[in-house]
């Protein structure tokens, strides 16, 4: 009897393990991990899906064949498939890839500009519904074809292509020339009633240095951010570039911001880390003064709604520049001169910010800054807020920007002296 | 069906029956209100008298002996020859060669015929020579008139032995002779003299084998009970340290000693220990390991509920907290009750080094505790179910290294785990010099070869090695066993159900462990149930904060030291050179 009881107990224990066991286990060598996924407009079907599949043998350094796909990108295999929907494309892809294609480690989704201008909702909805998707994946808009970008992007320094995307995420704080948009953020923003989405721009720059724009001495802008992706004059082993933003209205792309505008955008959202910029010298407008600018406090918003429903938003921006170069040789470390520089910087920044806001109001009509989230607080219920139709009325809102700035550091130098000799 | 009903009863909630057994009740929280030492509850009367518990101090004094019971077959006869025949029968002479009967004559006036009985090998020959010398050569006294007083004369005037007892029953004589004493029968006396001549071959006091530490005493118990009690008493030189003895095992007649501090240990606890020991009926108790299996609360749970240690300093530190030590003759491991999981993760070394280092060690050990049973299961859960949980590059590294491995990851893990267990077992069994090296060398060579042959992936070698190291870092041998077995359960759960299974496993293990009791003390105290935390559970506070003894032990005196134990910080005077 006792033996029987023990047997029953063991049987129950084993069936407890076996019956509810999720037999969805997959060995790592049964799965093909997609690291990045690109979407292009197809010729016959709707969509060309390009996937970059990790080749773990190469990444772990045990592959017998050398490289695989040249330096840097050897760890990845690129497939394209033309299909009518992104997830159907996966099944179709599995007719040639012998392992189950998985999104679990997909770090980047790239949409071509062409596709984005037609609207992305129908492509991101199935992805968002799919259980394997990582909400923290980055989304990019690719100028040109996404397939070309995935093929030509060779992060030479990295062993694994995903590291490039992870590093991009961090580097945004260092230069402010692009921002990060997570997949879930983008999806939420396409549905939001208080903000429009925006996505960083990427592109392949085929040429060399010839795309350079005129410098400050020749009437150009004194900022590194005057480019958009695909135009930055860089010659080097990797041709991919990330700079600028794509502006969306709902799920449709409506415009492009360049690097400097992206910086202003980040400043207005309080996400700006730091970045090097230049302003014309107040005493000699043909020469630049280099500044390392950082945002010292998050922006302060004051919103006023009058009985007619007209919105006024006052934004206080706090920025702290640090002098990094004085080309003219004037002693701007001197307190009176410093004030001159501060005033000039404030004027320039204020103008830049207002220009950008005006552009979004008049040209795009999209509130990518999320001002709606500030205005929303003035409404007691969500119904009245929805009725107010903020996104349609954004263009009419009057937005004022006040910049507060103080030069606190002058680099490692306390005084600028003219160079001796010369002339 | 009856079985289903029974099963439903088995798995459904029931009111707690009185199977709880012994509970260590709260003592009145003393703030030294209780007069110490004197008001002992009547613990010494409590135990049933099947095996009389004897106080250690073997009575060398002059107690009046009980009168001989007439016609008792156990009684010693007056005739020397009769006695000799009885002894021969009892020991099965002449086949039994261990027993020696030495006949001699005491050189008194007139001479007395005697014989001595002892077991060859258990006695100290030097002492015996001295005894015989004294009786045969130097005894020249007139005999007393009464024959019954003869033994007392011999004991008080002739025998130079340090412990001499007079007994009139053969059973007493046999017990003593079996322990290595020498019995002397005198012609015409119905009493026998028992002289302490114990002196058998034994190991000396050596370094601990399984509980090595760097700082702190390097002595370990050995197989001799008396040496072991002395090692403890050497640390606690307190007259209130009590050693009670009893014999257990019908065949082995093993002496078991219970040590506790009379004014500290909870009387109920001492009584419970004695009650459990008294009730054991078996023939063979050769080691404390066997005894501990007889007296432990939960024999079916993996976790040990009795602390086993071979370090006298460890036992001493537990005794001064109010616990009870059980020492078994012939076993170099001493049992301490009650104990908790947290104490089984202590070594004593944390107390000898500064508290910061001690706390660091404890946290390290806590980590080792978790790794030792969870790591392989968690690895399998990640690799099989939760690819998204680890960084992409780590996943790709694991995946890449696994590409050439022909087995599923479960087989891979089991292969390595079992090889490691084999190395571990073989390392202990292998003789002498090879044994020490096989552990490291075997693991290295085997691991390296397995990787080169593409049997396992290199990451797995790291995993198994870390798990193995973690289980070696568990100071308690029994607990480390328990965790080694739990590890395989978690491997099964991780493989079938991923982290969901591991979560189920942890929950079940938690409930099962929280259900344990060690001599009336919950095994997870002071965390489950939550009681006064104490300063020495996971982290270790500086020694001057150790003001209270552990609350869950419920000692008679909870105060260890006053609130200000460092008197010198109160008088700010400093040195005298002002």
Please indicate, yes or no, if residue A11 is contained in any of the structural domains: no
When pLDDT is cut at 50, 70 and 90, the band that residue B69 belongs to is: very low
B387 and A33 within 8 Å at the Cβ level: the answer is yes
**Phi and psi at residue A385, to the nearest 5°:** -65, -45
Please indicate, yes or no, if residue A18 is contained in any of the structural domains: no
Evaluate whether A152 touches A76 at the Cβ level (below 8 Å): no
Same domain, A226 and A374: no
**Chain B residues within 8 A of A3 when measuring between CB atoms:** none
Please indicate, yes or no, if residue A213 is contained in any of the structural domains: yes
Please indicate, yes or no, if residue A166 is contained in any of the structural domains: yes
Question: For residue B47, what pLDDT is reported?
Answer: 43
Same domain, A243 and A384: no
Q: pLDDT tens digits, residue range B294-324?
A: 999 888 899 999 999 999 999 999 999 999 9
Within the 119-178 window of chain A, which residues sit less than 8 Å (CB to CB) from chain B?
A: 132, 134, 159-160, 162-163
When pLDDT is cut at 50, 70 and 90, the band that residue B56 belongs to is: very low
Q: DSSP string spanning A251-268? A: TEEEEEE-HHHHHHHHHH
Q: DSSP string spanning A350-363? A: HHHHHHHHHHIIII
| Residue B67 pLDDT > 60 | no
From A166's Cα to the closest Cα of chain B, the distance in A is: 10
Distance CA B191, CA B207 (A): 44
Question: For residue A71, what pLDDT is reported?
Answer: 43
Same domain, A211 and A319: no
Q: Considering only alpha carbons, which residue of chain B is nearest residue A161?
A: B393
Q: How many independent structural domains does chain A possess? A: 2
Inter-residue long-range contacts of B271-274, CB under 8 Å, 24+ positions, other chains counted: B271/B43, B271/B46, B271/B47, B272/B22, B272/B519, B272/B520, B273/B324, B273/B326, B273/B337, B273/B519, B274/B46, B274/B47, B274/B53, B274/B244, B274/B246
**Chain A residues within 8 A of B496 when measuring between CB atoms:** 17-18, 21-22
Q: Which stretches of chain B sit within 8 Å of chain A by CB?
A: 3, 7, 383-385, 387-388, 392-393, 395-404, 408-409, 492-493, 495-498, 500-501
* Structural domain range at position A216: 29-259
Question: For residue A330, what pLDDT is reported?
Answer: 84
CB under 8 Å to B215, separation ≥6 — which residues? B349, B352, B353
Same domain, A295 and A385: yes
- For residue B387, give the nearest of A31, A59, A107 by CB distance: A31
Question: For residue B98, what pLDDT is reported?
Answer: 87
| Residue B242 pLDDT > 50 | yes
B397 and A62 within 8 Å at the Cβ level: the answer is no
Higher-pLDDT residue of B110, B368: B368
Nearest CA to A77 among A58, A105, A94? A58
C-alpha count within 13 angstroms, C-beta hemisphere, residue B552 = 27
Evaluate whether A145 touches A163 at the Cβ level (below 8 Å): no
Same domain, A106 and A235: yes
Does A22 contact B at CB distance below 8 Å? yes
B395 and A62 within 8 Å at the Cβ level: the answer is no
CA angle A180, A158, A48 (to 5 degrees): 60
From B208's Cα to the closest Cα of chain A, the distance in A is: 40
Same domain, A163 and A312: no
Nearest CA to A379 among A185, A193, A189, A186? A193
From B393's Cα to the closest Cα of chain A, the distance in A is: 7
Distance CA B404, CA B451 (A): 10
Please indicate, yes or no, if residue A198 is contained in any of the structural domains: yes
Evaluate whether A272 touches A266 at the Cβ level (below 8 Å): yes
Average pLDDT, chain A: 87
Evaluate whether B378 touches B386 at the Cβ level (below 8 Å): no
From B387's Cα to the closest Cα of chain A, the distance in A is: 7
Does A19 contact B at CB distance below 8 Å? no
Does A100 contact B at CB distance below 8 Å? no
Does A335 contact B at CB distance below 8 Å? no
Distance CA A195, CA A157 (A): 37
Same domain, A254 and A367: no
Mean pLDDT, residues A365-376: 91
A61 and B408 within 8 Å at the Cβ level: the answer is no
A26 and B7 within 8 Å at the Cβ level: the answer is no
Question: For residue A421, what pLDDT is reported?
Answer: 64
A56 and B393 within 8 Å at the Cβ level: the answer is no
Least confident of A130-144, A274-288, B55-69, B242-256: B55-69
- For residue A59, give the nearest of B396, B402, B497 by CB distance: B396
**Chain B residues within 8 A of A35 when measuring between CB atoms:** 392
Same domain, A230 and A358: no
| Residue B76 pLDDT > 90 | no
Q: pLDDT tens digits, residue range A301-336?
A: 999 998 888 899 999 999 999 998 888 888 888 888
Least confident of A98-102, A120-124, B6-10: B6-10
Please indicate, yes or no, if residue A47 is contained in any of the structural domains: yes
Last residue of some domain: A231, A259, A287?
Answer: A259
Q: How many residues does chain B have?
A: 578
Mean pLDDT, residues A46-70: 72
From B7's Cα to the closest Cα of chain A, the distance in A is: 9
Question: For residue B49, what pLDDT is reported?
Answer: 40
Structure tokens at B429: 């069994």
CATH number where A314 lies: 3.30.300.210
Least confident of A75-89, A256-270, B137-151, B460-474: B137-151
Last residue of some domain: A259, A282, A303?
Answer: A259
Same domain, A299 and A228: no
From B422's Cα to the closest Cα of chain A, the distance in A is: 26
A56 and B496 within 8 Å at the Cβ level: the answer is no
Same domain, A191 and A128: yes
Question: For residue A343, what pLDDT is reported?
Answer: 92
Structure tokens at A361: 């109001």
Please indicate, yes or no, if residue A68 is contained in any of the structural domains: yes
Structure tokens at B285: 């108790």
Substitution target from A16, A17, A22, A28 for chain B, most B beta carbons within 10 A:
A28
B493 and A17 within 8 Å at the Cβ level: the answer is yes
Size of interface A-B (CB pairs under 8 A): 93
**Chain A residues within 8 A of B488 when measuring between CB atoms:** none
Q: Considering only alpha carbons, which residue of chain A is nearest residue B454?
A: A62
**Chain B residues within 8 A of A8 when measuring between CB atoms:** 3, 7
Same domain, A386 and A321: yes
When pLDDT is cut at 50, 70 and 90, the band that residue A383 belongs to is: very high
Same domain, A109 and A254: yes
Least confident of A131-145, A338-352, B97-111, B493-507: B97-111
Last residue of some domain: A195, A228, A259?
Answer: A259
Does A60 contact B at CB distance below 8 Å? yes
| Strand partners of residue A108 | A36, A138
Please indicate, yes or no, if residue A217 is contained in any of the structural domains: yes
Structure tokens at B313: 């300093």
Q: pLDDT tens digits, residue range B122-153?
A: 888 888 888 888 888 877 667 666 656 778 87
Mean pLDDT, residues A241-267: 93
């Amino acid at each position: 009897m006792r033996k029987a009881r023990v047997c029953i107990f063991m049987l129950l224990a084993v069936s407890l393990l076996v019956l509810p066991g999720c037999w969805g286990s997959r060995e790592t060598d049964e799965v093909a991990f997609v690291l990045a996924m690109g979407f292009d407009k197809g010729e016959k079907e709707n969509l060309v899906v390009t996937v970059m599949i990790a080749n773990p043998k190469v990444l772990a350094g045990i592959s017998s064949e050398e490289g695989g796909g040249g330096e840097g990108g050897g760890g990845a295999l690129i497939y394209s498939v033309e299909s009518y929907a992104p997830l159907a494309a996966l099944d179709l892809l599995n007719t040639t890839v012998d392992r189950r294609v998985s999104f679990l480690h997909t770090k980047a989704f790239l949409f071509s500009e062409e596709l984005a201008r037609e609207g992305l909702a129908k492509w991101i909805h199935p992805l968002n519904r799919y259980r394997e998707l990582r909400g923290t994946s980055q989304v990019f808009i690719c100028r040109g074809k996404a397939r070309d970008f995935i093929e030509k992007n060779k992060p030479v320094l990295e062993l694994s292509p995903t590291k490039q995307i992870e590093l991009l995420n961090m580097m945004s704080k260092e230069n402010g020339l692009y921002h990060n948009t997570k997949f879930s953020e983008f999806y939420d923003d396409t549905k939001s009633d208080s903000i429009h989405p925006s996505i960083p721009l990427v592109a392949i720059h085929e040429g060399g240095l010839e795309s350079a724009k005129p410098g400050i001495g020749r009437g150009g802008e004194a900022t590194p951010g005057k480019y958009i992706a695909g135009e930055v004059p860089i010659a080097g082993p990797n041709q991919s570039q990330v700079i600028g933003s794509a502006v969306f209205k709902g799920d449709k792309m409506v415009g492009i911001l360049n690097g400097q505008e992206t910086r202003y955008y980040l400043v207005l959202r309080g996400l700006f880390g730091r970045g090097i910029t230049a302003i014309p010298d107040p005493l000699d407008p043909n020469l630049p003064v280099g500044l390392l600018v950082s945002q010292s406090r998050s922006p302060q918003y004051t919103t006023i709604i009058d009985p007619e429903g007209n919105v006024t938003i006052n934004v206080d921006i706090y920025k702290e520049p640090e002098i990094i170069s004085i080309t003219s040789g004037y002693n701007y470390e001197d307190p009176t001169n410093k004030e001159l520089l501060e005033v000039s910087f404030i004027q320039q920044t204020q103008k830049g910010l207002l220009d950008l806001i005006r552009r979004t109001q008049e040209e795009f009509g999209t509130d990518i800054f999320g001002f709606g989230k500030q205005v929303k607080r003035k409404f007691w219920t969500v119904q009245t807020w929805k009725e107010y139709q903020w996104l349609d009325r954004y263009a009419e809102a009057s937005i004022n920007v006040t910049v507060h700035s103080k030069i606190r550091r002058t680099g490692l130098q306390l005084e600028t002296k003219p160079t001796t000799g010369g002339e | 069906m009856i079985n289903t009903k029974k099963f439903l009863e088995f798995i459904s909630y029931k009111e707690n029956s009185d199977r709880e057994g012994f509970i260590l009740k709260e003592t009145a929280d003393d703030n030294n209100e209780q007069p110490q030492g004197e008001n002992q509850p009547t613990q010494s009367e409590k135990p049933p008298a099947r095996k009389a518990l004897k106080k250690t101090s073997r009575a060398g004094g002059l107690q009046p002996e009980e009168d001989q019971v007439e016609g008792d077959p156990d009684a010693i006869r007056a005739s020397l020859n009769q006695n000799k025949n009885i002894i021969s029968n009892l020991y099965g002479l002449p086949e039994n060669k261990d027993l020696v009967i030495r006949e001699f004559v005491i050189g008194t006036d007139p001479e007395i015929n005697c014989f001595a009985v002892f077991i060859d090998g258990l006695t100290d020959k030097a002492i015996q020579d001295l005894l015989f010398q004294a009786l045969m050569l130097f005894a020249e006294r007139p005999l007393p008139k009464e024959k019954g007083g003869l033994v007392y004369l011999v004991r008080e005037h002739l025998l130079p032995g340090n412990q001499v007892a007079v007994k009139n029953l053969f059973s007493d004589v046999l017990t003593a002779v079996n322990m290595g004493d020498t019995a002397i029968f005198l012609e015409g006396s119905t009493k026998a003299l028992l002289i302490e001549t114990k002196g058998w071959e034994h190991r000396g006091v050596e370094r601990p084998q399984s509980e090595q530490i760097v700082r702190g005493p390097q002595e370990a118990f050995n197989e001799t009970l008396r040496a072991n009690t002395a090692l403890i008493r050497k640390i606690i030189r307190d007259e209130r340290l009590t050693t009670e003895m009893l014999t257990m095992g019908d065949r082995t007649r093993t002496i078991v000693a219970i040590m506790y501090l009379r004014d500290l240990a909870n009387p109920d606890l001492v009584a419970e220990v004695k009650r459990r020991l008294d009730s054991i009926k078996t023939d063979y108790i050769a080691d404390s390991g066997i005894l501990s299996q007889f007296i432990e609360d939960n024999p079916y749970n993996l976790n040990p509920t009795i602390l086993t240690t071979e370090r006298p300093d460890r036992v001493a530190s537990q005794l001064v907290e109010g616990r009870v030590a059980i020492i078994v003759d012939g076993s170099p491991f001493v049992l301490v009750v009650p104990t908790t999981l947290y104490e089984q993760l202590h070594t004593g070394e944390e107390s000898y080094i500064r508290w910061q280092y001690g706390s660091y060690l404890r946290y390290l050990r806590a980590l080792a505790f978790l790794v030792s049973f969870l790591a392989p299961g968690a690895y399998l859960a990640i690799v099989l179910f939760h690819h998204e949980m680890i960084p992409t590059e780590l996943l790709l590294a694991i995946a890449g290294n696994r590409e050439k491995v022909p087995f599923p990851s479960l087989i891979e893990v089991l292969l390595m785990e079992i090889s490691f267990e084999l190395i571990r077992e073989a390392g202990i069994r292998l003789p002498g010099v090879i044994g020490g090296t096989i552990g490291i060398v075997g693991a290295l060579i085997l691991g390296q070869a397995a990787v080169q042959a593409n049997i396992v992936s290199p990451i797995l070698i790291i995993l198994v090695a870390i798990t193995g190291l973690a289980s070696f870092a568990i100071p308690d041998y029994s607990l480390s066993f328990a965790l080694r077995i739990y590890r395989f359960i978690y491997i099964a759960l991780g493989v079938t159900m991923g982290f969901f299974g591991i979560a189920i496993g942890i929950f079940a293990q938690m409930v099962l462990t929280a259900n344990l009791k060690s001599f009336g003390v919950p095994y997870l105290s002071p965390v489950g149930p939550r009681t006064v935390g104490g300063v020495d559970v996971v982290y270790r506070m500086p020694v001057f904060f150790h003001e209270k003894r552990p609350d869950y032990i419920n000692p008679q005196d909870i105060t260890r030291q006053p609130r200000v134990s460092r008197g010198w910080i109160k008088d700010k005077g400093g040195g005298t050179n002002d």
